[in-house]
A and B are shown apart, each in its own frame.
Chain A
Amino acid sequence: MSTNQEKGFPERFLGKKYPETMEDLPIAAIVPWPGSTLDVTTHAWRTFRPVINQDKCVRCRLCWIYCPDGAILEVDEEYTTSTGKKYKVSFKVDYDHCKGCGICANECPVKAIEMVPEMK
């Protein structure tokens, strides 16, 4: 996948990635940069943060499916539980983009996600 920059769109279509004035803005509010939502963090929205208990987690992926922000990450990290069960992957939270809505905790069938107050 090539970027639109490589494609050589004229400036007026591309604008600047972080425009400050109208002249820097791509036309028609078209966003010619794929994945631009990654640049916007929403971590400050949280009151509670989800914390995944890797021991309790059965890797069912329901949190990953239900997360409205794609903030549950499936990572290649092996884990062996206290009872000796081995998993090839682990589920982690992308705390830059998690808004703390708690849907993952609500959906988790084994109550492996705890919502912990952000206040320190």
Chain B
Amino acid sequence: MAVVEEKPREEQLPTRKKKIAATGSDAAAYAVRDADVDVVAVYPITPQAPIAENIAQMIADGELDAELIHVESEHSAMSAAVAAAATGARSFTATSSQGLELMHEILYIASGLRQPVVMALATRALSAPINIWNDYADAMGMRDTGWIMIFSENVQEVYDNLVQAFRIAEHPDVLLPVVVTLDGYILSHTTEALEPLDREEVLSFAPKRPRGYRPVLDPDHPVTIGVLGAPNWYQEIKVQQALAMRESRRVIEEAGKEFGKRYGREYGFIEPYYMDDAEVAIVTLGATSSLVKAAVNRLREQGVKAGMVKIRVFRPFPAEELAKVLENVNALGVLDRAVSFGGALEGPLAMEVLSTLAVRGVMKPFINFIHGLGGRDIFVKDVVEMYQKLLEAAKSGKSVTRTLFYGVRSRKGHVI
């Protein structure tokens, strides 16, 4: 019988590192530096620009030995990033909003060609009207592009998620591009405490594999990348891609656990907050989760059994985990920060959550909230109000079939 040596928890935890103050953009650039990225193809756009600036500075200062490709547009940035990955390089790009829209055609090509590009997306609303502030419209537009999508709640997670992204993307069982989001301004330009890792640690966690471990463009070993997929094989190639996305779950889970074992910060697909006995819960994404947690804290002080679930990995969607954690709530809300105009529900996340539950036969009184579009501040008190709405739904046992827009300046009141 195997003897399991039990060590006290403190001994297992690595020694805490010194914290530094950093913005989300700093954290993203540090992760790129520490992962020893080979090629960065990037076109600056607000609020992603400081990431591009920081990386350019690091390369100029000799802190990072990478090729910085000054492209003429985001379409070219993504094309160059895909091509760099196809030569076997560790490849990175970053963008926001309209930049992501311009990349769109190549987003599908990155995943279809199974190139492990890693991207940081400083989330920002989409034009028109032109707006440089945070919401998740750009990220939600990526839903179906075949990218693994990880949302960050704070500056530390921006760093940790990007480090994990390289390990996940380049894993031979995955080979899919990964995007890590950071809320525009709310994370990209906010200074808070960050505990970065040493470069050696990052490279041992997300090692650079020998160049030829997967088919890459190499004159000595010719392969063809980017062929025509006629009807006789296109479907199989797409199914392979869907299966790779499913398979990535295992690698993502391993990466999150291993990260925890090594550095004391474990990551899962979702992060439940006070869900053990929660009667009402809100599901949300990204830095918005912090606000919802703050609202939960406030409600718990008043004796309300509120809980929240943060979706960390949005693609592949953590359906099993989510269904399990929501099993026992009496009413459920989803806080979206994007609009799917004319959708069955207008919140893209709400539709994912509801499909997750419906297909498993779990039905709860449900409300979809949309707030915080184009940088509209969500206040903790707004979220507390949403929880009160959910308590009413729990009492009446009825869903609100119409999506509710919160914080609206309307003659009819702030909820439309």
Contacts and interface: CB of A to CB of B under 8 A. Distances in A.
Nearest to A13: B215
Contact of B221 (A2, A21, A36): A2
A28 B175 CA distance: 10
A7 B88 CA distance: 15
A31 B215 CA distance: 9
Contacts of A2: 220-221
Tell me the dominant secondary structure on chain B's binding face. loop
Contacts, number: 59
Chain B interface residue bracket vs A? 20 to 34
Contacts of B114: 27-28, 30
A13 to B, nearest CB: 5
B224 A36 contact: yes
Most buried by A among B172, B212, B221, B227: B221
Nearest to B115: A28
Interface stretch (B99-107, B179-187, B229-237, B307-315): B229-237
Contact of B215 (A1, A4, A21, A22): A4
A34 B301 CA distance: 68
Contacts of A10: 172
A10 B225 CA distance: 17
A29 interface: yes
A21 B239 CA distance: 12
Interface in B225-249: 225, 227, 229, 233, 236-237, 239-241, 244
Contacts of B172: 10, 12-13
B214 A31 contact: no
Interface string B202-227: 00000000001011000011111101
Interface of B: 112-114, 172, 175, 212, 214-215, 220-225, 227, 229, 233, 236-237, 239-241, 244
